[in-house]
Amino acid sequence: MKQRDSFFDNAKFILIFLVVFGHFLRTFINDNELIYTLYKVIYTFHMPAFILISGFFAKGFRKKGYIKKTARKLILPYFLFQIIYSLFYFLLYDDQSQLMIDPLDPHWSLWFLISLFFWNVMLYAFVRLRVGYSLLSALLIALAVGFFDFISGYLSLSRTFVFFPLFLLGFYLKKEHFYRLLTVRIKILAMFLFITVFFLFYHFPTLEYEWLLGSKSYAEMGVQPIYAMLIRGSLYVLSLMMMASFFALVPKEQYFFTNLGRNSLYVYLLHGFFIRIFRVSEVKDYFNNVESILLLAAISLILTLILSSKTVTSFAQPLIELKVSDTKKLLGRLKLYLKFYWEKWVSN
């Protein structure tokens, strides 16, 4: 069995924590400029880095049955969670209108699943080109799709094209490219870049966060197309710099959370229920100040640890991986525990 690389598992755990943290922060971005700035800084790199890593691990796409396996891993859970989230929102928001389930209009964070499937399929066409032409073609298409209003959030088409260059770049990268960033000099530059970007975003808050989502056309963003294309192009440069800075700060060593990084998909799919309940509850009113950022970060970390734990993943496995192996093992252990404590109680 091939040994997993702690560096990438660490990166995935930190990134999924930032996904959860960012979604908590989203609740307050209209009320606090500092929180809004932190939110934008996180969004310059956390999903782009996730997409880059996904591309890096797609190198086996030519293997027999790869697309079938990928569809089973992504598309089936996507449709299942589309239904679950539709019912959940219907009940949560007490919507009296007719329940609508549109399998082609991704709920909230589910866009990533369908886009990830499309990115894997698109590799078959783009890797036929030389590396430079392949990346340039993907970038030009990503810049061009903003001109077309019909390419939007439906079927996650806009994000699929906008973020595909990052996925493709990750596919071409080698492990050595990441490890070259792990020098003291680059780590110092990385921390300096994070501070600088935060300072610029805070004191010059002209960039709307929607630009970082990649889900809208240039017309929807209300900017002249040519100027909008320059903004999107500049954001690619910024994201590349921020991703490099992030990876430079990721540790290579094994930590208590390292193995949990492999369960990032579980956290991604399950944390939305908690975020949505938080946003409609009165609890959020206790977190409407800057001092609450650290508390929100702590809650996000705890939630990430819980949702990526063996117990939760075992119960959720039938929904997410469509398997029951871990679930059977967990139920077997619970049965033994209950039998043990029952016999102990009866004997007393």
Reduced to 3 states (helix: H, G, I; strand: E, B; else coil), residue 61 is coil
Q: Return the HEC string of 90-106.
A: HHHCCCCCCCCCCCCCC
**Is 202:196 a contact under the CB 8 Å cutoff?**
no
Going by C-beta distance under 8 Å and a sequence separation of 6 or more, which residues neighbour residue 215? 111, 152, 153, 158, 159, 162
Closest C-alpha among 337, 331, 303 to residue 315: 331
**Is 204:153 a contact under the CB 8 Å cutoff?**
no
pTM of the model: 0.91
| Number of Cβ within a 10 Å radius of residue 143 | 19
Task: Print pLDDT tens along the chain (348 aa).
Answer: 456 889 999 999 999 999 999 999 999 999 899 999 999 999 999 999 999 999 999 999 999 999 999 999 999 999 999 999 988 888 877 655 567 778 888 988 899 999 999 999 999 999 999 999 999 999 999 999 999 999 988 889 999 999 999 999 999 999 999 999 999 999 999 999 999 999 999 999 999 999 999 999 999 999 999 999 999 999 999 999 999 999 999 999 999 999 999 999 999 999 999 999 999 898 888 887 788 899 999 999 999 999 999 999 989 988 888 776 655 565 555 555 455 555 555 565
